A and B are shown apart, each in its own frame.
Chain A
Amino acid sequence: MIYRSILVSLLAIGIGYVVIASQIALDPWSEMDAINSRTLPYFYGSGLALCALVLLLQRPVALEVSGRILPLGLVCLVIVAFISLLQYAGLWWSLAALLVANMLIMGERRLPILFGVSLGVPLVGWGLVEQLLEMVVPL
């Protein structure tokens, strides 16, 4: 079912891509070119739709879904939180929070490791990137 949904999505992406490609604004000179900004996207989009269609006609691939989907969802949520936190807490504190949260989700409970890794890595990163290489993180 999921496999078929993927193929249907790919088919839709291919068709949608061709439709959007047809709406790319061209100047009159480009329209006369043998290959302009739209030409290759037409090929790519229709090629993808065709391939997806061929795969849809073949035998579907079966896959057993693991029971660890929920924790993976939590990891994704943590990444979203990291992205949202960047503006407010800065790169290195957000990275520390990301590391500690992900380690907790994945089952790490030893405090020295939790704090050592989540504080040590951002500290080394800060020292290397901002102090040694003098890069400015624009946040």
Chain B
Amino acid sequence: MLEGIMTGVATALTLSNLSWVIFGCIAGTLIGMIPGLGPISAIALMIPISYSLDPAGGLIMMAGVYYGAVFGGSTSAILINAPGVASTVATSFAGYPLARSGKAGKALAIAAYASFFGGTLGAVLLLFFASTLALFALQIQSPEYAALILFAMTSIVVFAQTGQRIHSAVTLLLGLMLGTVGTDQLGGVQRFTFNQIDLADGIHFVLLVMSTFALAEAFRLFIVQSPQTEQKVSMRDLKLPKSEVRRLTPVAGRSAVLGFIVGVMPGAGATLASFFAYDLEKQIGDKSLEAGLTAPEAANNAASTGSFVPLLSLGIPGSGTSAVLLGVMLAYGLQPGPTLIVDQPEVFWGVIISMYVGNLLLLLLNLPLIPYLARLINLPGQVLLPLVIGFSLLGVFLTTFSVFDLGLMLAFALVAGLLRAYGFPLAPMLLGFILSSLFEENLRRALLLSSGEIGYLADRPITLIILIICLLICFIPLWNRRLA
């Protein structure tokens, strides 16, 4: 393996490949900051450029584009509460309040450090455990996914603030219901579309996230006109105090490991990882905003790296982004899978090492930009809020190119604003929406495999353990009440 690592280092650190990874980081950051354009779009847009490079150079550039786009998405999530992609939604939960409280520079710096930490730890884990984890990933099938998703949904309600559990359940159910709109993938029938062709493909996630977060938040700020704290950020502010580093490092560590494991499972991806990590930290870990930002950022970067395990080891794309990358690799005539490491070691190891290099360069390139980015939030309300509204509508339109969706977005934003004003948390709605189709597909697929026998779920040890944990956590509120 040491020889492989050296091959990877030699490939990734040539002058031309370093230049391409720098270009990729910058291009990815710029594209990722545009609401609606995430890592998948960024990679897809860079495919024509990658064709002019050799396979290793092209894939190394893509690694830079990918990490850049993830960081760019986090920036808009933190500064204007507009997470353009699903994997940065959890980032906005703590990142945006932190930015609003006058710590935008610190929030962006924490996001950059946590992403770097998560990506680096992910790359190290990938280096050592790729083949072992790939075999583990194969054990995770539809019944385990369905149980895992049920666990995620249960925990978001059970661990909601006291007095908020039913409100969380309401928004979770609304999200699940919205997720059923469109063509049922297994049954092939249209559900809740009201004969609207625009709803046949379902509601786009970007639409829901932009309306419930960015647009609804702009409306709320417009009504409330909360006092804005001026952001004065210098390079010195980006250095975190030692006590804070000591406090946040374990958060980043456990979130990165969790994120990597979730990322390894095909189909789970960075979104689930970031939600899991945020939720875990909020419930049983460090409850500060800084930790709430560190956890999803470390987890989503580690998960993104983890999703390369099934791609490189088995040739199975674990996420949308790795599916696009698989396409790029196939276009180069490379066949990802167990033979890649033998046939093209410079590509296999080069990609792994370039992930680390991409992470490091992204940190070095973006840290100096943070003071300038943070000033965006200092814009006066009468300029910032129209910009947020404009960017939200633009983001959705560039994603779906549907005028109908813009109308739907306005309606959702008004409803979301009203629900939020009366204390209904909106995060469970997004989680429900993301998990709805995943849950239904996996549950139904599991039951198809077992010819409809529900008992089949309990015959699988991993599924059974998750279901038992699911049942046990339901008693936590009762236990807490008894203790109180």
Binding site for B on A (CB under 8 A): 2-3, 6, 10, 13-14, 17, 20-21, 24-27, 30, 33-37, 40-41, 44-45, 47-48, 51-52, 54-55, 61, 63, 66, 68-69, 71-72, 75-76, 79-80, 82-83, 86-87, 91, 95, 98-99, 102-103, 106-108, 113, 117, 121, 125, 128-129, 133, 135, 137-138
Contact = CB atoms under 8 A, between A and B. Distances in A.
Contacts of A135: 398
Interface of B: 30-31, 34, 45, 166-167, 169-170, 173-174, 176-177, 180, 184, 186-187, 189, 191-192, 219, 222-225, 380-383, 385-387, 389-390, 393-394, 397-398, 401, 403, 406-407, 410, 414, 418-419, 421-423, 439-440, 443-444, 447-448, 452-454
Given A40-B180, A86-B403, A80 B410 contact: yes
B269 to A, nearest CB: 22
Given A66-B223, A68-B225, A133-B31, A33 B447 contact: yes
A87 B191 contact: no
Contact of A72 (B170, B219, B390, B439): B219
A103 B219 CA distance: 14
Contacts of B45: 133
Contacts of B385: 102, 106
A99 B406 CA distance: 16
A117 B390 CA distance: 11
B387 A121 contact: yes
Contacts of A121: 387, 390
27 contacts: A10-B174, A14-B173, A21-B192, A27-B187, A30-B187, A30-B189, A33-B452, A34-B452, A34-B453, A35-B440, A35-B444, A36-B187, A37-B184, A48-B173, A54-B166, A55-B167, A72-B222, A75-B389, A76-B414, A80-B410, A86-B397, A95-B390, A98-B390, A99-B390, A102-B385, A103-B382, A108-B382
B321 to A, nearest CB: 18
Contacts of B403: 83, 86-87
Given A44-B180, A48-B170, A99 B386 contact: yes
A82 B222 contact: no
B443 A129 contact: no
B447 A35 contact: yes
A28 to B, nearest CB: 12
Residue of A6, A20, A21 with most partner-chain B CB within 10 A: A6
Contacts of A47: 169, 173
A27 B447 CA distance: 18
A83 B34 contact: no
Contacts of B414: 76
Nearest to B177: A44
A112 to B, nearest CB: 12
Contact of A106 (B386, B393, B423): B386
Contacts of A30: 187, 189
A21 B177 CA distance: 11
Contacts of A13: 177
A94 B338 CA distance: 52
Contacts of A10: 170, 174
A86 B447 CA distance: 46
B187, B401, B419 — which one has the most chain A CB atoms within 10 A of its CB?
B187
B387 A99 contact: yes
A3 B444 CA distance: 37
Contacts of A71: 222
Given A80-B410, A87-B403, A98 B421 contact: no
Contacts of B177: 13, 17, 41, 44-45, 48
Nearest to B407: A83
A56 B382 CA distance: 38
A87 B382 CA distance: 27
Nearest to B186: A37
Contact of A117 (B222, B383, B406): B383
